[in-house]
Amino acid sequence: MGDKIIETDSKGIPTKSNLPESPPLPVFYALFILVQMAIFGSMAYFFIVRNNEKGDAKVAILAEYDLGYVYIGAFVLKILQLIMGMNLGVARKAAKIHVPDQQVYQVKGAEGSKLGYVLLEGEGVLGRFNRAQRALQNYNEAAPITVLFFALGGFVYPQASLVLISLFSVLRFVSALGYTSSADGRFGGFLASGATLFMLDGLVIMSGIRSILL
């Protein structure tokens, strides 16, 4: 099943954004991220970090070489990436552009100015192709910071990090299959995969802070 029909203006731009009207998007994103970090960071602490002697020994190694600052630096990188995502969300809402579209093109020239904007095909096999392509790019865009956090978290908590990254990969595949069917179909696997990343984030943040405080 493809996406539902979206009402557009004379140039093909949707007449309404599909992002929430309130609260303001930066507030919405910030609250969502903070709640998720609190929930899944706490889970990471109670199920992985607490009473983990091998992990404590690795944290001591980080402290010995002042590597906790590297761990915190990785978290700063991720926070800035999230803030840039918020900026994109604000611009997307104002432009009323729906996913999977990432750009809006205009045909140039005297005659081109009379034509509509150029957006992705959303129907049929071409729509499925466009959404499948966007699902892959979602994964690729998240991969560098995810690999970094997997490496940092894996040094201190290797088994737990392996489980989390494996779950993340499987759930992103589920999300990609859902996205191929419809834009809304991406949410289940995407949100669940985010939970695994928030736990991995928690391992990295706690390792960095604990090593600095030792």
Does residue 69 belong to any structural domain of this protein? yes
pLDDT for 6 = 84
Q: How confident is the model at residue 1 (pLDDT cuts 50, 70, 90)?
A: very low
**pLDDT tens readout for residues 157-208:** 999 999 999 999 999 999 999 999 999 999 999 999 999 999 999 999 999 9
Does residue 20 belong to any structural domain of this protein? no
pLDDT for 5 = 75
- The pair of structure tokens assigned to 144 is 């560098």
Does residue 181 belong to any structural domain of this protein? yes
Q: Could you give the CA distance from residue 22 to residue 54 in angstroms, rounded to a whole number?
A: 46
- The pair of structure tokens assigned to 130 is 């466009």
CB of 17 within 8 A of CB of 123?
Answer: no
Q: Write down the pTM of the prediction.
A: 0.91
CB of 192 within 8 A of CB of 173?
Answer: no
Q: What is the CATH number of the domain that holds 49?
A: 1.20.120.550
Q: How confident is the model at residue 107 (pLDDT cuts 50, 70, 90)?
A: confident
- Between CA 169 and CA 86, with CA 171 as vertex, the angle to 5 degrees is 90
Q: Could you give the CA distance from residue 158 to residue 175 in angstroms, rounded to a whole number?
A: 25
Q: How confident is the model at residue 90 (pLDDT cuts 50, 70, 90)?
A: very high
- The pair of structure tokens assigned to 153 is 């978290």
Alpha helices in the chain (DSSP H): 25-44, 53-64, 68-95, 124-156, 158-181, 187-213
Q: Could you give the CA distance from residue 96 to residue 185 in angstroms, rounded to a whole number?
A: 20
Domain of 61, in residue numbers: 25-213
**pLDDT tens readout for residues 30-83:** 999 999 999 999 999 999 999 999 999 999 999 999 999 999 999 999 999 999
pLDDT for 200 = 98
Question: In DSSP terms, which residues pair with 105 in a beta bridge?
Answer: 118
Does residue 9 belong to any structural domain of this protein? no
Does residue 37 belong to any structural domain of this protein? yes
Does residue 8 belong to any structural domain of this protein? no
Does residue 123 belong to any structural domain of this protein? yes
Lowest mean pLDDT of 64-73, 106-115, 132-141, name the range. 106-115
- Alpha-carbon separation of residue 44 from 96, 150, 162, 212 (angstroms): 37, 14, 14, 19
- The pair of structure tokens assigned to 9 is 């203006």
Between residues 114 and 113, the one the model is more confident about: 114
Does residue 169 belong to any structural domain of this protein? yes
Q: Could you give the CA distance from residue 200 to residue 47 in angstroms, rounded to a whole number?
A: 12
What is the total count of domains within the chain?
1
pLDDT for 3 = 55
